[in-house]
Every structure is written in structure tokens, then in C-alpha cells.
Structure 1
Amino acid sequence: MDKRKFLKTTILASTGIAAAPSLVLSSCNSSEKKEKTTPEINEKDVKKETSSSSPLFSLPPLVYGYDAFTDVIDAQTMEIHHSKHHQGYVNKLNKALKDTPVSGNTIEDILKNEALPIQVRNNGGGHFNHSLYWDILTPGGAMSDTLKAAIVKSFNSIEAFKEELATAGKKRFGSGWAWLCQSADKNLFITSTPNQDNPLMHVADKQGHPILGIDVWEHAYYLKYQNKRGEYLQNIINKINWTKVEDRMI
């Protein structure tokens, strides 16, 4: 090897040795930089985010057919009422809760919030109210002696109770609901609310625990009764499953 070739080889080798530490250091710095820019996942934050999300609700299936009691409510009204009106409330409630989350894991807890966004109030009320309505219309279930005694204690007689309940529905101006509720001291009382409000809400004239609700919106009865709301109320009261009502008592 001549002198010129020897010097060239030596210079290239020296340059490679000098560059290696720089390359290693550069690689370390790059890895360190990537690690620093990757956000750390905090389990508490994940749990907090999950727990703060609102639940999704679904349309409760009926355990009886739409034609279960056509002597009182026609099948077409029942089908439209359940599959269209109630489903609409559920869809809009889920959207409202996604847009504006409200604290509470059950619909009851949500409706007890002091300040409800109007969409949650209207559609959450619609979902809760109708779910209760379908349940207490489940065929069967006569009054037990225990429930009779509680009703007589609060209203003097079964007949007086039924008349007061029907009157609450008849006197509700426009659309709304008639309710049988329990107060904080567990006594029974009757009240009514407009639109899709209910006694769980802070806006109710009288708050309490609802155990029976009758829908007096026209879509609940108009095909069969037209403007005869009183006749609808008298008939629907005779279809109530009183076992279901009693099961809701606290």
C-alpha cells in the first residue's frame, strides 16, 4: 500500500469512529424525545371519564300484545303510542344526554337533578312516564288488602280514590299526567303534572315517589275516545294492575 492510499484509509476509519458516538447520542436523544412527548395514561382519569358519561336508555318491550285490552284501548293506538311516541322520547333523551351529560345512573336519579336541560326534562320525563304507564297496565293484579288499607287511610274509600284520580286527569289542562304517589312519610297522594313532567322533578307542584301514572295526552286515547277524556280515564283505571302499583311502593 502506497503512502497516499494508507493515509486515505486511516482518515476514513478515524472519521467513522468519531461519528459513532454522535449517532448513538442522536438516537438516544430521539428516543428520549419520543418518550417525553407520549402522554401518560392515568387510570384515575380514565375511570373519571367513564363514570361521568351518561347512560344510554332503550325502549322497554311490552310483555303483552298491542291488542291486549282492545275493549279499553285499540291496538293501533297502543302500537303508535309505544313504538313511535315512546321510542321518539328515548332517541331524543339519548341525544340530549350525549350533548349535555347530567349526573345520575338511572332515569330516576337524572330527573331528580335540580337544574335539568329542557331536552332532558321533556324526553327523560317522557321515557320514565311511559315506562311506568306500560308496566301498570300489565294484565292482571287485583288490589291486596295492604294496598286497600293504604288507599282507604288516605282517601277514605276505594271509590273516592278512583274518583279523585280520574278528576286529576280530567282537570289537567292540555296534555299531561295524573299520578298516585307516596310522600316522604310514605302516605299516598294524588297530583297531576303538565306535558312530560312528573313528581320526581323539582318543577312539580308536589314532589313525591310515583307509583301510578295515567297518560292524558290525546295520543293516548283519541282514536277510540276522541274528546271523551273522562270516559277513557274511568275505563283505564279499571285496567290497572294493582300488584304492579304496590310493588313500586317504598
Structure 2
Amino acid sequence: MADQSRNAVIAQSDLERLVFELPPLPYGTKDLEPVLSAETLEIHHGKHHARYVETLNRLLAEQNFSAHTLEEIIRIAHGSGAKGVFNNAAQAWNHSFFWESMAPKTVKPAGLLASAISSEFGSLETLRQRFSAEGTGHFGSGWVWLIAKRDKLEVISTHDAGSPILEEGVTPLLACDVWEHAYYIDYRQDRAGWITSWWNRLANWSFAETQFDAAIGQGKPWRYPPSQTAR
């Protein structure tokens, strides 16, 4: 029965296919300078992120995937072993979440999230140290995340296209990209310097607060823009 249900989700008419679009950045390409240069954003968003979306759309057409949201596709592809679809879908999602995780002006967390940080880590500085250690110690490409399991906070890292949304009950709050292309133009091999600058000057705590509210049942979490149907 489970296989029949999954097939019903994946099966698709030959007359239509899903097309995901590359969402625009939530700020201008120069708005994060000098922490991230316009050149970095133009290449990272306009080339790397765009390629994931383009490749995903091609693979969805070739493999007859039909799910209504990118989140569904990520979970279905992971569960069925469709590595190409999973990698490109997850990277499209991860990058969009990463853009939302940054803002031209950062402010300290407040409200319920600030209380949760104090309860879980003791202080924002301790959380910063934990986040930095996770990112600098991560071997190879991937992502560093602040996540919530309901009202409990954790810092984790995922390799390559790995995503915390695969785990039931997890809500990501912030993500920092530690793939080398995310920072090499501006920081060369200095990943630690990149993470420190990201945390101190770009981390979007207003977005994290909204995500945390969703984690504890007081709102809805961020979602990738829904697909369009092309015929």
C-alpha cells in the first residue's frame, strides 16, 4: 500500500510537468557588502543556485516526478534513492533558505528564541562558539544549521546536499553555506573568517525568530516557492 501511495505521488501525465523557478534574492547583490561582494552573490545565486534549479527541472521531466512542493520532492527522492533529483532539489532548497538566513543589518535575537538560546546554550556567545566550531570542523562541503526540535535548539552540519528537513519534527532556523564557492572569492581558504563574519554581520535573527515560532506551533515555517505546471 505504501508503494502504491508513493507511486501515485510520483506518477505524472505526459501532458504536463513541474517547473521550479529560481527565486530572486531577498536583497540587492551589493547589499551584503563588504561581508559578501556583489561578485560572490552574482556567481553564487546566478550561476550555482540557478544551475541546481535548471538541472532539477530537467531531471523531474526525465524521471516523471510529480509532487506539489520542493519539500515533498526532497523527501520522496531521498527515500526512493533518486540521488540526482535529491541532490539538486535539496541544493535548490538549501540555497534559498541560506539567502533568507542573511540580512544587510543583523540584530540580536529577541523574544522566545532569545529565551531558548539562554536555556540551551547559556548565552548567545556560547552558541556562536558552538556554531563556529561546527562549521570550521566540518570536513568537505556542506552546511551548518541552527535547528529547533520543537523548543529545543541544536547546531548541526550536513554534508554536500544534506538537509535537516528530512528528519521529522525538525525546523531549521538559520543556515550558513560552507561550500567553498560560497566564500572563496572574498575569504579564500579562510572558512573560519567567513563563518565569523556571517554570524556577526549577516545572520538574520528576525527570520530565525519566525522559524522558531513555527517550530513551537505559533506560525508556519518558510517554504520554497511552489512549482508551476508547464504543458
What TM-score results when the alignment is normalised by the length of structure 1?
Answer: 0.73
Q: 1:107 aligns with which of 63, 70, 80?
A: 70
Q: Which structure features the higher share of strand residues?
A: 2
Q: 2:170 aligns with which of 208, 218, 228?
A: 208
Q: Distance in 2 between matches of 1:54 and 1:173?
A: 37
Aligned residues of 1:103 and 1:109 also touching (Cα < 8 A): no
Match of 2:86 in 1: 121
Q: Which structure features the higher share of helix residues?
A: 1
Structure 2 residue 139 is the aligned partner of structure 1 residue 173: yes
Deviation at 1:103, TM superposition (A): 5.4
Aligned residues of 1:199 and 1:207 also touching (Cα < 8 A): no
Match of 2:103 in 1: 138
Match of 1:192 in 2: 157
**Count of matched residue positions in the alignment of Structure 1 and Structure 2:** 199
Q: 2:125 aligns with which of 151, 159, 166?
A: 159
Structure 2 residue 115 is the aligned partner of structure 1 residue 149: yes
Aligned residues of 2:12 and 2:66 also touching (Cα < 8 A): no
Aligned sequence identity (%) = 34
Structure 1: 5+ residue stretches without partners: 1-47
Root mean square deviation, CA, Å: 2.3
Aligned residues of 1:54 and 1:105 also touching (Cα < 8 A): no
Letter in 1 for 2:133: T
Aligned residues of 1:77 and 1:220 also touching (Cα < 8 A): yes
Aligned residues of 1:221 and 1:229 also touching (Cα < 8 A): yes
CA offsets per residue over residues 199-245 of structure 1, 9 Å max, x none? 1236xxx9822221110011110011111100100000121111111
Letter in 1 for 2:121: F
Distance 1:199 1:63, change over 3 A: closer
Letter in 1 for 2:102: L
Q: Distance in 2 between matches of 1:172 and 1:54?
A: 37
Q: Which structure exhibits the higher relative contact order, with contacts defined as CA atoms closer than 8 Å and separated by 6 or more residues?
A: 2
Match of 1:24 in 2: none
CA offsets per residue over residues 119-165 of structure 1, 9 Å max, x none? 11110111000000111213335222321111112212111111111
Structure 2: 5+ residue stretches without partners: 1-10, 215-231
Q: Distance in 1 between matches of 2:151 and 2:67?
A: 24
Q: Distance in 2 between matches of 1:95 and 1:178?
A: 28
Q: Distance in 1 between matches of 2:104 and 2:69?
A: 26
Q: Distance in 2 between matches of 1:225 and 1:63?
A: 23
CA offsets per residue over residues 156-181 of structure 1, 9 Å max, x none? 21111111111111111111000111
Q: Distance in 1 between matches of 2:129 and 2:75?
A: 29
Aligned residues of 1:178 and 1:190 also touching (Cα < 8 A): yes
Aligned residues of 1:199 and 1:210 also touching (Cα < 8 A): yes
